A and B are shown apart, each in its own frame.
Chain A
Amino acid sequence: MSKSIKIRKGLDIRIKGDAERSSTEVPLSSTYAIKPTDFHGLIPKLLKRVGDPVKAGTIIFQDKYREDIKYVSPVSGKIQEVKRGAKRKILEVIIEADKEISYEAGNPVDVASLDRETAKEALLASGLWPFIKMRPIDVVANYTDTPKSIFISGFDSSPLAPDYDYLLYTRDKEFQAGIDVLNKLTDGNVNLQLRAKGGTDAAFTQAKKVVANKVSGPHPSGNVGPQIHQIDPINKGEVVWTVNAQDVAIIGRCLLTGRYDASKLVALTGSEATNRKYYKVIIGANASDVLNGNCNTDNVRYISGNVLTGSQIESDGYIGFYDSQLTVVPEGNEHKFFLTKGWLEPGFKKLSNNSAYPSKIFGPKKFDVDTNLNGEERAFVVTGEYEKVFPFDIYPVHLIKSVMVNDIDSMEKLGIYEVAPEDFALCEFVCTSKINSQEIVREGLDVIHKECM
């Protein structure tokens, strides 16, 4: 049964710097990296050493505790460096790429002939499994679980988000193959959520064997969190899997061709980027391939992902595994005099969801923003502001407080199983007290993961 849901609470953050709908192929870069830090909670077990030759699809490391989950090289070449951080934690495995990609030998898979076990094996062996994430906890899915349903969001509502219709344009067959294999993994539905209004690409509208739901409303309507909450909420003990739409197509393509071809479109966005459009890269590409010559480099922040949930990278860092977006915004590391630019300015141009700034009504259509915190961290004082942008039947502040005091029983009761850090991104944005709620929710999920699952 397809549903039509309306998200009432939320906020569309209108900032400058969206990407135009055209794309360029980026020439193969010299280095690629696969970053264990992209997969929360992963402890990798390296299978290759520095200097070892690899092909695209060669297993580089596996999950230490779930050894069947393999992580593979996106390109061919040789391992150049294993970058480690504190306590020798592996941060990046950097691969020096060949001029031309050669792939691990593999055969096209006939998706229709697979059953659940063989489908799982196919995905695990080819390194496609990490594309599948699970709720609760929001980490790479457990292959021993059978999810009650699988969710794919057909659009992204976050600020400056890439247009999924464009990402999947002419990729109908790959997308369908991805859906077909996901269907093998669950007894329930594969839910595909589409925007209620506006054009939707044939890849979405023609997709079969999915339950297509219509979603309307402001961000975070495009996040799977609120979609799951409305359509098939997670109770304790239940598991739902989620996959990004573009990653579904990658899964489909790799199965259809039998080789690990991890190319995808990445949108370059943000007010400090100049050539804002889509770039065709391979997963793990060096951001400098996209950024070079295409953005202002003076005092800016490079983000792999969007401004709400992305991770900060260096200008020559690597694009995150799940990200389809690079954002460049100005750093806000300057003191601002309180009457002209600071906390008591008239505020006709300052981005805010609070009526204490007239910009809420009289502001420009698109705002300039920087990374200034616009204040200092405080205890919770103002109430009711999280609830305005949090479309769950859950009390967000109380959930966060239960995590702060590490009260597992309360966390469970208050709904920690239904949320992921990204669901709190807007709460974090609007917070008067500047509390890092995404970080807190992640801590809570880690505790739950360790103690209760």
Chain B
Amino acid sequence: MKFLRNIFDNAHAKLNKSEKTKKLFPLVDSVDTLMFTPNHTTTGGAHIRDGIDLKRTMMFVILALIPCLLFGMYNVGLQHDLANSTVEWSGVDQFLYGLMKVLPFIVVSYAAGLGVEFIFAIKNGHAVQEGYLVSGMLIPLIMPIDTPLWMVAVSVVFAVVIGKEVFGGTGMNILNVALTARAFLFFAHPTSMSGNNVWISGFKELKGSGNLVDGVSGATPLGDLASFTQDQPAYSSLNEFIDKGHSFVEAMWGLYPGSIGESSVFPIMLGAIFLLITGIASWRVMTSFFVGGLVMALIMNQFAGENAYMQLPAIHQLMYGGFLFGMVFMITDPVTAAQTSKGKYFYGFLAGFLGILIRVVNPAYPEGIMLAILIANVFAPLIDHMVISTNIKRRLKRVKTA
């Protein structure tokens, strides 16, 4: 440790020698504070402080994402194997294929995002803040695997600059950074973000070369469900859809095409349990989001009629798409969520409720969770304002009753 410490101390000493290199201080300092908790002591106020800091909080979210990441890598390989008539892989091969495909996403996401953060840190003369550590891991997990890497980079830069830095950096943003990146891609490059051709790695090439296994459409379950509302549904009835590989249990396993990290329920639940036990994520937001989605899905069931999409049982509906991933990792972002305890219930409920509504009713978007969470982000300050107003009124009332 002493050896490492000396390296940093020397680097700081060298940087401090001239005015020009002093500007680079945040660069070295960021790596230093990552390796060592700094020797800052309390000045003024409480003389002892809690052991928690933002780095640990953020790192725990990343740890919670690891099951999703590993599963995502495996599923990418599996889906490619299933679609490719020329290969016959073992589970390990599938995972390695996925690893090689997903790793570049992560590298690009962190390189682009942290690059922007470093530029702003140097420009504003503050340390690099930890917010992007989590966003940088979330963004690859909510992308379709066939998204070109340059698009990932562009959307990351957009999200960090417009979504976060213009508002003042970590802790100041209004919209969830990871979802801003996804929304940007969704509207700027819709053909790379939706449809049936982007969810399986190398799908277009396979189609072109004729190596595609017969009957593989490349569609996500939500894509198939959405086709019920169009002229040529992928399945003749909801029962056929469920019988052919979309039972409730299969929906839970999530071995179907989808964004990299979102399809399987089990790794998401592992992450959820970890976040709830460590108290990093708000259980209020999570449960109310789930309840919101469930209520809307039940309402849909009531008014389903002939619409097969709306007939899908409520719980089954919630297993698909980004609903659970959004519930655990997106809606719980404390910066963009409502901040008051009561407000968190309304906030989560609103997002879950709207998410299923947009997903089922609007045929243009087979997935509505992203948009619903972004809408809820915008409403969060309003929700807080109403909660706080009631608190202010309650305390004003004391004067009259006393």
Q: Taking beta carbons and an 8 Å cutoff, which residues of A are in contact with B?
A: 13, 15, 159, 233, 235-236, 301, 303, 307-310, 312, 327, 329, 331-338, 340-344, 347, 350-357, 359, 369-376, 378-384, 387, 393-395, 397-398, 413-415, 425, 428-434, 436-439
Q: Given A337-B35, A376-B33, A355 and B170 touching (CB < 8 A)?
A: no
One of B37-45, B69-77, B91-99, B247-255 contacting the partner: B37-45
Asked if B191 CB lies within 8 Å of chain A CBs, one says no
Residues of A within 8 A of B50 (CB): 351-354, 374, 429-432
B52 surroundings in chain A (CB, below 8 A): 352-354, 356-357, 374-375, 430, 432
Classify the secondary structure of A's interface with B.
Answer: loop
The answer, among A372, A393, A414, for a CB contact under 8 Å with B41, is A372
What is the interface residue range for chain B against chain A?
35 or more
CB atoms of A378 and B44 under 8 A apart: no
**Known interface pairs A335-B38, A337-B1, A356-B60; A307-B53 also in contact (CB < 8 Å):** no
Q: Which of B216-224, B236-244, B337-345 contacts A (4 or more CB under 8 A)?
A: B337-345
B36 within 8 A of partner (CB): yes
A350 engages B48 (CB within 8 Å)? no
Pair B172/A15 contact, Cβ less than 8 Å: no
Q: Are B41 and A434 touching (Cβ within 8 A)? A: no
Q: Report whether A384 and B48 are in contact in the complex, using a CB–CB cutoff of 8 Å.
A: no
B196 within 8 Å of A (CB atoms): no
Q: How far is B140's CA from A412's CA once the two chains are assembled, in angstroms?
A: 46
Given contacts A375-B37, A431-B50, A432-B57, 6 further A-B contacts (CB under 8 A): A371-B48, A374-B49, A376-B40, A378-B170, A382-B54, A395-B391
Which of chain B's residues has its CB closest to A436's CB? B45
- Could you tell me if B51 and A371 are in contact, using CB atoms closer than 8 angstroms? no
Q: Residues of A contacting B344 with CB < 8 Å?
A: 384
Q: Which of B40, B131, B279, B395 contacts A373 (CB 8 A)?
A: B40
How far, in angstroms, from A393 to B387 measured CA to CA in the complex?
12
Is B147 at the interface (CB under 8 A from chain A)?
no
The answer to whether B334 touches A383, judged by C-beta atoms less than 8 angstroms apart, is yes
Contact of A356 among B5, B39, B56 (CB under 8 A): B56
CA distance A59 to B80 in the complex (A): 89
The B contact surface, by secondary structure, is loop
Q: How far is the CA of A338 from the CA of B51 in the complex (A)?
A: 12
Residue B392 CB within 8 A of the other chain:
yes
B59 within 8 A of A: yes
Contact of A425 with B45 at beta-carbon distance under 8 Å, contacts A372-B37, A383-B337 already known:
yes
Separation of A335 and B40 alpha carbons in the complex (Å): 8
In the complex, the answer to whether A432 meets B53 with C-beta atoms within 8 Å is yes
Please name all residues of chain B whose beta carbon is closer than 8 Å to the beta carbon of A15 when the two chains form the complex.
48
Q: Which residues of B contact A393 (CB under 8 A)?
A: 391, 394-395
Q: Known interface pairs A336-B36, A337-B35, A384-B341. Does A351 touch B48 (Cβ–Cβ under 8 Å)?
A: yes
Q: Closest A-chain residue to B60, C-beta based? A: A356
**In the complex the two chains form, is B47's CB within 8 Å of A308's CB?**
yes
**How far is A344 from B54 in the complex, measured between Cα atoms in Å?**
11
Among candidates A329, A344, A381, A387, residue contacting B48 with C-beta atoms closer than 8 Å: A329
Contact across chains for B51 and A347 when beta carbons are under 8 A apart: yes
Task: Report the Cα distance A310→B47, complex, angstroms.
Answer: 8
Which A residue sits closest to B277, measured CB to CB? A355
Give 8 closest A-B pairs by Cβ, nearest first.
A375-B53, A379-B171, A342-B37, A355-B279, A350-B51, A352-B51, A354-B52, A335-B36
Contact B54 A381 (CB under 8 A): yes
Contact: B395 with A379, CB < 8 Å? no
Contact yes or no, B48 A307, CB < 8 A: yes
Check B112 for interface membership: any CB of A closer than 8 A. Answer: no
Given contacts A352-B50, A371-B47, A438-B45, contact A343 B392 (CB under 8 A): no
Q: Give the chain B neighbours of A359 by CB distance below 8 A.
A: 51
